Structure 1
Amino acid sequence: MWREISRIGKKLVENRLVESHFGNISVRIGNRMLITRSGCALDEITEDGVVEVSIGGSCALDMIASSETIVHRAIYRSTPALAIVHAHCPFAVTLSLLAEGDSITPADSEGQYFLGEMPIVKGGIGSEELAQNLAASLASYKASIIYSHGTFAIGKVLDEAYVLTTQVEHSCKIKYWYDLAKKN
């Protein structure tokens, strides 16, 4: 399974959805999850770059797991997700900073069809507040944007969560350019 995580990590970096050492990826396996290690370069993931931890509560390996492990746990407990991708998509971050409300509505037809409203949630990196807010949001949506931080997308498989991540960023990019053009 670490090879699948590695493949998605490389795609995230290649498509500029994250800088190499930012973002994280996990997969649920029963009551456990495989998650990228803290500080792991997503385009260089090896078997040692993935940690297996409990979904039920903290464990000793949390010390080396992603700083967002608490958030992944909460999402797995509150949703049917089997895979999670967290990226630092630049246009999604930008629009979250510019948004006047608590969501972004895509301007493009694909975004409207596949995503609909994109909620913006708040909470500090790796915090209990973020874990609770994202888990609640992702119980109703397949992807959410964290204010000033990035995106979280869920799926039944990693490819689904990855595609949702690309769709959010594409829709945010189109909306940014569209809103910019309207001002001129």
Structure 2
Amino acid sequence: MTTAENQLRREVIRTARALQSTGLTHGTSGNVSVRYNNGMLITPSGIPYEDLEMKKIVFMDLEGGYFGDFLPSSEWRMHMDIYRNYKDAEAVVHCHSARATALSTHNKGIPAFHYMVAVAGGDQIKCADYATFGTKALSKAMIDALEDRTACLLAHHGQIAFGPSLHKALGLAGEVEALADQYLSALVLGEPAPLCPAEMKEILRKFKSYGKQLDTLDGDDAGAFEMPQRRD
């Protein structure tokens, strides 16, 4: 294994263990992958996160073939199809976080009750139709729910998120869980009023430049925010 591959394997293990330490999953549920060398490195099937070693992380190509002595996660197809459909996807995190899973058991996504739903790239976070875990049908339902977004819920199952790095994908999964928690709390008083489509369109425009610094902003991005005045 090359130094770069070893580093990615370590990051996959670190991210998988973070799912447990942050409460985003329990036991051996959930799985993590990162794009690598025209394929992906993915957590193995059924091995507790505390027992993971670099040699147990499975390399798969994007045609569904795996290499080595360990079986890949049973959810490998969802990861593979994200990499095949989204060229900017570099890492995928799937977990059974409590609040997102609770919503998914009602086949319910997260509407525009709060502007932060835009963190996943759309005006809502959809819930994919139910299908048996590990199947083509589930992967297709997931792709349909994602559309141009980077996260969705999976009915009666959990959530999945992807991003430009393992750190970002894990962070997004945490954001989805936090939004699910807030939405469930809001539902105690009834269905919250959603933000209007025009406002969500503006929020999505502003999110394109959220977190960028001056040297990375172009003219349109800078216009998305009221900029503070620099004092010399």
- Aligned equivalent of 1:144: 152
- Contact kept in structure 1, 2:82 and 2:143, CA below 8 Å: yes
State how 1:171-182 maps to structure 2 within 5 Å. Answer: 171-182=179-190
Matched, 1:84 2:92: yes
Deviations 1:95-114 (A, max 9, x none): 12235x6x321533433x42
**Match of residue 51 from structure 1:** 58
Q: Give the whole-Å Cα distance in 1 for the aligned partners of 2:105 and 2:152.
A: 14
Q: CA deviation at 1:82?
A: 1.1
Matched to 1:104, the amino acid is I
TM-aligned CA distance change 1:62 to 1:165, over 3 Å: farther
Q: Which moved more, 1:5-14 or 1:85-94?
A: 5-14
Residue in structure 2 matching 1:108, options 97, 111, 114 = 114
Deviations 1:125-161 (A, max 9, x none): 0000111222343341110110011111011101111
Do 1:78 and 1:136's aligned partners in 2 also have CA atoms closer than 8 Å?
A: no
Structure of greater relative contact order (alpha carbons < 8 Å, 6+ residues apart): 1
Extract unaligned runs of 5+ from structure 1.
none
TM-score w.r.t. the length of structure 2 is 0.71
Paired AA for residue 31 in structure 1? N
Contact kept? 1:93, 1:149, Cα under 8 Å: yes
For normalisation by structure 1, the TM-score amounts to 0.88
Aligned to 2:208: none
Amino acid in structure 2 at the alignment position of 1:35: I
- What is the Cα deviation at residue 62 of structure 1? 9.3
Bigger Rg, structure 1 or 2: 2
One-letter code aligned to 1:137: A
Out of 64, 69, 82, the position equivalent to 2:71 is: 64
* Percentage identity across paired residues of the two chains: 27
Runs of 5+ in structure 2 lacking a partner?
Answer: 1-7, 192-232
Contact 1:62/1:69 (CA < 8 Å) preserved in 2? no
Alignment of 1:128-143 (within 5 A): 128-143=136-151
**For structure 1, which segment, 58-67 or 18-27, has the greater mean C-alpha deviation from structure 2 after superposition?**
58-67
* Matches for 1:111-126 after TM superposition, within 5 Å: 111=117, 113-115=118-120, 116-122=123-129, 123-126=131-134
Query: In the superposition, relative to structure 1, how do residues 62 and 182 fare at CA in structure 2: closer, same or farther (>3 Å)?
Result: farther
1:141–1:62 distance in 2 versus 1, CA, 3 Å? farther
Quick one: distance in 1 between partners of 2:133 and 2:69?
A: 15
Question: How far 1:90 moved relative to its partner?
Answer: 1.0
Task: State whether structure 2 residue 96 is matched by structure 1 residue 96.
Answer: no
Q: Post-superposition shift, 1:44?
A: 4.1
| Change in CA separation of 1:138 and 1:30 when aligned onto 2, cut-off 3 Å | farther
**Over the residues paired in the alignment, what is the CA RMSD in angstroms?**
2.1
Name which of 27, 30, 48 aligns with 1:23.
30
Provide the rounded CA distance (Å) in 1 between the counterparts of 2:76 and 2:69: 7
